[in-house]
Amino acid sequence: MKARKTVLRIFYDVDPSVVRNQTGSFGEAIANHEERFSDDKEKVWRWRSALTEVASFSGWNSNEWYKSKLIRDIIEVIWTKLLHTSFSYAENLVGIYSRLQPVNFLLAVGVDDVRFIGIWGMGGIGKTTMVRAVYERISHEFEFSFLLSDVGNSVEKGGLLNLEKQLISSIWTKKADISDLHEGATILRRLLGHKKVLLILDDVNHSSHLKYLAGNQEWFGSGSRVLMTTRNEHLLIEHVVVRGLKAEELNDDDSLQLFS
């Protein structure tokens, strides 16, 4: 598991704490093994240690998911890890890799802190294209991944509360029956506080979008990344987003290639 990083931890109808502490049916099974392998206690000790360690990592707990959502999410992770297709969203995008280099540096995926990263720039310059390419490349490395496109327009049409409900319903097994933004923010913080999350908010145009959808670093578990795009750099400053960059125009060579 450690060498190949290919084990997916799924706790189906069993609480991770039962596996971690070998209680209940797991405790009975281990006790039976200790009797059976009384001449090789080292083996049973290794099994105990392995169960404790694997249950300490993040994974899927079926009690916290709708069954259909659980299956879809597992399939998506496996598909991303093992069945890479020949098509990539960023495959034919002119200049995308050079533009993503500073974003990748700021993201530093694998570092255990929680990071908020902002990208600002004028409309049409390619901010959405950049974050879509980022999402495709790194979303499989997180427990939960969300890409909310055109946030400003979505809020204008359906309201910010609906976006909160959309986020909550994709995580929670219960119906997201919330009545106000503060309640939704509280639930999001409780659900995501111990999860490694990738949250991308594209085209934010009001401080309330960040306040009620992303909150602050304490909303998210270790290793989480929140990436947001906006035309208004002041929104990022107001939300104390200290890591950010301006989306620049294509250089002359890339511009000529795109035109051609």
One domain for residues 170 and 255 = yes
8 Å CB contact between 229 and 223: no
Is the pLDDT at 89 greater than 70, yes or no? no
131 and 58 belong to one structural domain: no
Q: What is the pLDDT of residue 229?
A: 93
CA angle 184, 232, 156 (to 5 degrees): 45
Same domain membership, residue 251 and residue 181:
yes
Vertex 110 angle, CA 230 and 223, to 5°: 65
- Size (the chain), residues: 260
Confidence of residue 223 (pLDDT cuts 50, 70, 90): very high
Tokens encoding 207: 């401080």
| Range in 11-20, 178-187, 244-253 with the lowest mean pLDDT | 244-253
Three-class DSSP labels, 8-33: CCEECCCCHHHHHHCCHHHHHHHHHH
Is 234 within the bounds of a domain? yes
Residue 127 lies in a domain: yes
The total number of structural domains in the chain stands at 2
Residue 16 has pLDDT above 90, yes or no: no
Predicted TM-score (pTM) of this structure: 0.64
User: 252 and 193: one domain?
Assistant: yes
| 3-state class (DSSP) for residue 84 | coil
Confidence of residue 86 (pLDDT cuts 50, 70, 90): very low
Helix ranges restricted to H, 193-241:
207-213, 233-238
Range of the domain at 152: 96-259
pLDDT score recorded for residue 220:
93
Instruction: Tell me what the mean pLDDT of segment 66-79 comes to.
Output: 80
Q: Which of 70, 69, 114 is nearest to 243 (CA)?
A: 114
Give the model confidence (pLDDT) of 170-201 as tens digits.
887 666 678 889 999 999 999 899 899 999 99
The verdict on 25 and 105 lying in the same domain is: no
